């Protein structure tokens, strides 16, 4: 967007386009949350991590990053695609009593909660 000459550069229009991109990202996140689509929500996390880090909210960015790292690298393979996880994906697996069934499914010792 900034490739135009300084005379032709419209900063107000560029800021408006960036703002609309953020609104669309927010709408996509809300749609995923309202419909229980955990894959769509997770795909929105990466841009939100950058937005939170850029505006100084490093704790929010770190929490989202840790969640994604845990789900995709720390937990055993196949856990993030299990139907119970899809249903209750953003809940805390360590504290929630209803998720004991999910933890017991991993009998190979791959999940220490």
User: Hunting for tokens 């009593």 — which residue is that?
Assistant: 97
Of 3-7, 40-44, 49-53, 102-106, where does mean pLDDT reach its minimum?
102-106
In a domain, 2, yes or no: no
In a domain, 6, yes or no: no
Q: Summarize pLDDT for 5-24 with one digit per residue, the tens.
A: 666 778 999 999 999 999 99
Distance CA 105, CA 76 (A): 11
Q: Mapped to the 3 state alphabet, what secondary structure does 11-43 carry?
A: HHHHHHHHHHHHHHHHHHHHHHHHHCCHHHHHH
How long, in residues, is the chain?
A: 113
In a domain, 23, yes or no: yes
In a domain, 110, yes or no: no
In a domain, 90, yes or no: yes
* Domains in the chain, number: 1
In a domain, 55, yes or no: yes
Domain around 22? 11-104
């Amino acid at each position: 967007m900034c490739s135009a000459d300084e005379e032709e550069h419209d900063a107000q229009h560029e800021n408006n386009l960036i703002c609309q991109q953020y609104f669309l990202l927010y709408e996509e996140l809300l749609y995923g949350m309202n419909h229980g689509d955990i894959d769509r929500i997770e795909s929105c996390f990466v841009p939100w991590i950058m937005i939170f880090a850029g505006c100084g909210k490093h704790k929010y960015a770190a929490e989202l990053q840790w969640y994604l790292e845990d789900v995709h690298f720390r937990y055993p393979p196949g856990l993030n695609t299990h139907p119970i996880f899809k249903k209750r994906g953003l809940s805390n697996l360590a504290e929630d009593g209803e998720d004991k069934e999910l933890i017991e499914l991993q009998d190979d010792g791959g999940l220490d909660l």
